[in-house]
Amino acid sequence: MIANDCYKMGHFFYSLKAFDVLERLDPNPEYWEGKRGACVGAFQKIVAGKEPRDSLREITQMLRNTQNPQVEYIMRTFKVASCICISAVRVQYKYASLGQIDTS
């Protein structure tokens, strides 16, 4: 109940925590699906700057608690997306330091 309500309200990190506990108690495929969706939602919020980047470490740990083969694909996707975001931020700061773009 808490996991689904948090998910519906866009509180993906808390939804993920709840689905993680549920999945450990009962390896129901529906809990994995909820956990997977909450992971992706939480990651999107991190990329958008609406969730602290520090929570990524906890997200990846909860993902690794799962024995589903999709975990490795998700982890690779997170890694690639993180590298792209870091590169974009570096380019933005480079041009901002040159006075060529407004970062506000």
Q: Residue 6 corresponds to which amino acid?
A: C
pTM value? 0.74
What is the predicted pLDDT for the residue at 47? Answer: 82
Give 12-63 pLDDT, tens digit per residue.
Answer: 999 999 999 999 999 899 999 999 999 989 988 988 888 888 888 898 889 8
Residue 39 to residues 93, 96, 97, 99, 104: CA-CA distances in angstroms?
Answer: 28, 32, 34, 37, 29
Give CA separation, 86 vs 30, 46, 72, in Å.
33, 12, 21
Distance CA 67, CA 72 (A): 10
Closest CA to 4 of 14, 66, 50: 14
